[in-house]
Amino acid sequence: MSVQTDAEKRKQISVRGIVAVENVTEVKKAFNRHVHYTLVKDRNVATPRDYYFALAHTVKDHLVSRWIRTQQYYYENDPKRVYYLSLEYYMGRSLQNTMINLGIQGTVDEALYQLGLDIEELEELEEDAGLGNGGLGRLAACFLDSMATLGLAAYGYGIRYEYGIFAQKIENGEQQEEPDDWLRFGNPWEKARPEFMLPVNFYGSVVDTPDGKKWIDTQVVFAMPYDNPIPGYNNNVVNTLRLWSAKSPIDFNLKFFNSGDYIQAVLDRNVAENISRVLYPNDNFFEGKELRLRQEYFMCAATLQDIIRRYKASKFGCRDAVRTSFEHLPEKVAIQLNDTHPALAIPEFLRILVDIEKVPYEQAWDLVVKCCAYTNHTVLPEALERWPCSMLENVLPRHMQLIYHINFLHLQEVQKRWPGDMDRLRRMSLIEEEGEKRVNMANLSIVGSHAVNGVAAIHSEILKATIFRDFFEMWPDKFQNKTNGITPRRWLLLCNPGLSDLICDKIGEDWIVHLEKLKELKRWAKDPAFQRAVMKVKQENKLKLAALIERDTGVKINPASMFDVQVKRIHEYKRQLLNILHVITLYNRIKRDPSASFTPRTVMIGGKAAPGYFIAKQIIALACAVGNTVNNDPDVGDKLKLIFLENYRVTLAERIIPASDLSEQISTAGTEASGTGNMKFMLNGALTIGTMDGANVEMAEEAGEENFFIFGMRVDDVEALKQRGYNAYEYYERNPELRQCVEQIRSGFFSTGEPGKFAHVADVLLHHDRFLHLADYDAYVEAQQKVADVYQDQTKWAEMVIENIASSGKFSSDRTITEYAREIWGVEPTWDKLPAPHETA
């Protein structure tokens, strides 16, 4: 089968017309100029990396003029600005996304082709910007793309980690972590802005003065901003992601100079600069380390100074008069907290207004609440941030005072509503008194925000009914739902050019910014020619992924088999173990009767485990061990394979998702807040096997349950089972197939030479399983049999695939951001273009 290259497909999709010869010539000239003058200088030979940087700078040339014009437009028109605060941005690569959004991909492809260079080889040299752990960080990246595409005056703020999420290496079947030195060759997309460097204070003490409270004797660290351009799709808007890097002040530890220890004084500068050194690699887990607290405050303090500076300096385009009154702040500033990680923005904002700007306390608090809004991303208790009061008192003494005061006034309000209800006061307090005193950051975020949202309908209902019930009863109007979404630019147009082209041929190009238009494809769901075309694209994507896997692992997989994929962070609640139990079940069935008819299946599991999460690392080791057994058994052949995909990241997701047939979304009902990988698979024509959890519920609603493989307990069933008392042995004793699987894990069947290696995993399943794997095992295996049966009927499968693609329009982050804009931030999206740099406004 001849497979078009991605470059050929991209040329088709991104241009859909003639590439102007003069534009190609201009790009070639700019590229050569960058190679000769920017990079090579004294060297005679350019390396492939030189060519990549020349290409990045050539593309950036097209960005910068639009970037300057966009920021100038905001300055002159002074719209309400949206500030998205997140400790994580999982951006991936920028080159191809930038070319697509600027509409120059075809031109650049052609220019490099004429220069004898392979653009795909150069794209492979770009490092992923892995400044996030998983869903929360990737969501922030999708939101930035949508905010720019919808013409919002929006700014992302975060930390420029020197080391992003670790690179995962699988050695001897186990995860090893390697530091992600993503900046070692430089980052062509960022622009350092030393002129906006700001001081951030830590430690010290608070004194009373005639002028109010004063925070003194602090240690100062400077925050150096690095700006990253965020282009909207085809609208000439370029917004900014500003990432802060920690810099030591010049006089850091000056006292050493007096004692003559100059060298030590210079070396100790590292202590301050460690703040932005590394991303904490935990997903859905709170580890109360002081460095992490300092990171959170560092980002909030620098960002709020920037927000207030910009508010004061902008007044209807006038460059001299600055705003001196804060009464209009909520009309000009919206701050969104991405989980509780930036929750210190609330007391910091209050501190700036009260202590520095001398705004009366009641007015200051009113302004804070009107500006701030909070998104909750999890109900897992181990993920909720609870900082020890002793640590806060040491690191941020003034903030601790303010939190106590906020709590005092808040509890007075609660007392007024529910006199004498001491238990409610305890539950709603910002300070947890049991054991070590702690600040509950979720409670602080709710009290300090005018809007609180969950990230899928079911998640938002669970918040109101369980962990935030008391707050919902007090402020029902604060609580909203904003179901997550994904950007169709990266997650269809960029990663799946073949499918994008097919869709454009049928319904035009409007879907790229109006994803709901995909529903027009429904009329071709039963059309044999369209079914064949869609499945042909899927097959081409599968062939490419199979070649990649064979190159990287040496395992040859059957491209005609069903590609059954579960890629996400490794966590007990996501139940990769349930998937592995199913693989073992299939393996045992083949071994019992190798001649029985069987739907060939390649199961792929990928994802990183937090370095300190022992059971998650065991799950990876078990997946590798089971794969080793299955993949080398001659009785099995190419009927079944289990592959663990090493170092799952954004760039690998862009390869895997378009090639997948089956998407595994199998978390215990009530644990996955939303999920966004589920949406990416749906958009790219994979069918979903899943529980009624997170956004799966709304996806099944959109596509129709007949086009989904739903199984397992619902949220109510899970609660009822927990109330009754979950006994894993009931299920273990009742089902011989399940019992065999657990015993094989326990006995060392998959770990020859190390018989007890996975005994702990079996022990967790039988004795300490919060996520009820065995209770859903029967329903899961039954649903998987249904999947296998339907896959045999490729006409029916293709129809379901098209129905899913056509039903995925709701899950665009453009829809999500439109809802945030109108219902939380008080701004209106626009689909109008800004004038291009060469046009007059």
Give me the active site residues, please: 377, 568-569, 574, 676, 680
For the CA atoms of 648, 650, 655, 657, what is the dihedral angle to 10 degrees?
90
Identify which of 766, 511, 649, 565 has the alpha carbon closest to the alpha carbon of residue 92: 649
**What contacts 574, CB < 8 A, 6 or more positions away?**
566, 568, 666, 667, 672
Which tokens is 66 given?
């639009």
CB 700 within 8 A of CB 726: no
**What contacts 367, CB < 8 A, 6 or more positions away?**
326, 329, 330, 349, 353, 359
**DSSP string covering 568-619:** S---GGGTHHHHHHHHHHHHHHHHH-TTS----EEEEEE----TT-HHHHHH
- CA 794, 800, 801, 802 torsion: positive or negative? positive
- CA 671 to CA 674: how far, in whole Å? 9
Burial class from Cβ neighbours inside 10 Å (0-12, 13-18, 19+) for residue 238 reads buried
- CA 495 to CA 653: how far, in whole Å? 9
- CA 344 to CA 200: how far, in whole Å? 13
- CA 449 to CA 689: how far, in whole Å? 37
- CA 813 to CA 809: how far, in whole Å? 10
Q: What φ, ψ does residue 778 adopt, rounded to 5°? A: -60, -50
Q: Number of C-alpha atoms within 13 angstroms, CB side, residue 590?
A: 22
Identify which of 421, 419, 415, 414 has the alpha carbon closest to the alpha carbon of residue 443: 414
Beta strands in 305-344 (DSSP E): 333-338
CB 660 within 8 A of CB 686: yes
Which tokens is 659 given?
């090639």
Which tokens is 101 given?
């959004």
Give the DSSP H/E element, type plus range, for residue 386: strand 386-388
Q: Which residue has the tokens 């770009």?
A: 126
Angle at CA of residue 109, ends 108 and 114, nearest 5°? 95
- Eight-class DSSP state of 379: -
Tell me the chain's radius of gyration from C-alpha atoms.
28
Identify which of 616, 633, 475, 639 has the alpha carbon closest to the alpha carbon of residue 560: 639
CB 43 within 8 A of CB 138: no
Pairing assessment for the beta strands 562-567 and 601-606 based on DSSP bridges: parallel
Identify which of 509, 809, 528, 501 has the alpha carbon closest to the alpha carbon of residue 682: 809
SS3 sequence of 46-100: CCHHHHHHHHHHHHHHHHHHHHHHHHHHHHHHCCCEEEEECCCEEEECCHHHHHH
- CA 202 to CA 115: how far, in whole Å? 54
Which tokens is 626 given?
């089971």
Three-class SS state of 828? coil
Three-class SS state of 26? helix
- CA 570 to CA 621: how far, in whole Å? 11
Give the DSSP H/E element, type plus range, for residue 781: helix 773-792
Q: What φ, ψ does residue 599 adopt, rounded to 5°? A: -80, 115
Q: Which amino acid is at 718?
A: V
Identify which of 166, 391, 386, 181 has the alpha carbon closest to the alpha carbon of residue 282: 166
Angle at CA of residue 576, ends 87 and 176, nearest 5°? 60
